[in-house]
Amino acid sequence: MKRKIWLITGISSGLGKALAQSVMESGDFVVGTFRRQSQIDEFNKTKSDYGFAVRLDITDEIQIDQCIETIISKFGFIDVLVNNAGFGFIGAIEEASMREVRDVFEANFFGTLKLKKAVLPIMRKRGKGHIVQISSHGGIKAFAGFGIYNASKFALEGFSEALAQEVAPLGIKLTIVEPGPFRTNFAGKRLKQADKVINDYSTTAGAFREKLKVVDGKQEGDPVKASKAIIKLVASENPSLRLPLGKVALMTIGIKVDSIKSDLDKNREVAESVVYL
């Protein structure tokens, strides 16, 4: 059986690293992205039979184009694209500067959008492919102190849901993965925070900030198990649009679904009253 070629962004740590390793162990080939040349050199020295590393800063459009050109010239196609690169950001909405907001969106939204647009012509030409978007349970339910990050993931979920409908007739599959808290660097050194702190938000955004510090390293999620779940999903004939991962994700997404249903039921009479008769 011909092994698939996976393009996975951000494989230096966390879920991306675990997924890259699991994909290589499964027999498929990984093209993984790093931001530092030393990481690229080390990967290509030790993993050349199972993978190939390229440089990519997901916020750099020129690097995105160069990355895809390199992959196509070397391998000819991409079977699976995993948009994993990005970062978390803590801060009340008022605390976050517009520069900080734009930085979050450049990585979590615009970068992944640009990469998908670069890969889609390749998949369309072959009439097959699978796009895996690493979102978050925070892409469904928002949390005080996480609003800017939530917004970037809500936006990602929105265009990914529409894209799934657009590419399905073309033989291309798309899945949105929504992990809860996992034991990665997401809540550690990779987590960014608003420079400005407003004391009035100490019981909301501030409390959330302190909570993440406490749970870092104690999260329920196992990145290796998550990786195997993603690989199993990609191998399935009819993968679901969404894949929540972890008990916390099931709980928080369930709370959001129940909340929406409650609001629909509560306001049904009002909603129906505003239409032309």
Side-chain-side CA neighbours of residue 245 (13 Å): 26
> CA 247 to CA 232: how far, in whole Å?
19
Side-chain-side CA neighbours of residue 2 (13 Å): 7
Crossing angle, helix 147-167 and helix 98-105, to 10 degrees?
Answer: 30
The whole-number pLDDT of residue 190 equals 74
> CA 226 to CA 223: how far, in whole Å?
5
Contacts of 39 (CB under 8 A, 6+ apart): 12, 53
Which helix (H) or strand (E) segment is 167 a member of?
helix 147-167
The whole-number pLDDT of residue 183 equals 81
- Compute CA 84 distance to the chain's CA centroid, rounded to the nearest angstrom: 5
Taking the alpha carbons of 238, 240, 244, 250 in that order, is the dihedral positive or negative? negative
> CA 188 to CA 277: how far, in whole Å?
56
The whole-number pLDDT of residue 80 equals 98
Catalytic residue among 149, 152, 173, 201: 149
SS3 of residue 225 by DSSP: helix
What CATH architecture applies to the domain 5-273? Answer: 3-Layer(aba) Sandwich (3.40)
Taking the alpha carbons of 51, 57, 60, 62 in that order, is the dihedral positive or negative? negative
- For the chain, list residues with pLDDT below 70: 1, 185, 187-188
Catalytic residue among 135, 136, 160, 227: 135
**pTM score:** 0.93
Strand partners, 53: 32
The whole-number pLDDT of residue 188 equals 66
Closest by alpha carbon to 67, among 110, 34, 108? 34
Catalytic residue among 116, 141, 153, 173: 153
Strand partners, 190: none
* Burial class for 111, CB neighbours closer than 10 Å (0-12, 13-18, 19+): buried
Q: What are phi and psi of 264, to 5 degrees?
A: -65, -50
The whole-number pLDDT of residue 113 equals 97
- pLDDT tens per residue across span 13-56: 899 999 999 999 999 999 999 999 999 999 999 998 899 999 99
The whole-number pLDDT of residue 184 equals 76
Is residue 29 within 8 Å of 50, Cβ to Cβ? yes
**Catalytic-residue membership of 135:** yes
Contacts of 105 (CB under 8 A, 6+ apart): 151, 152, 155
What secondary structure does DSSP assign to 65-127, as a single string?
HHHHHHHHHHHS--SEEEE-----EE--TTTS-HHHHHHHHIIIIIHHHHHHHHHHHHHHHHT
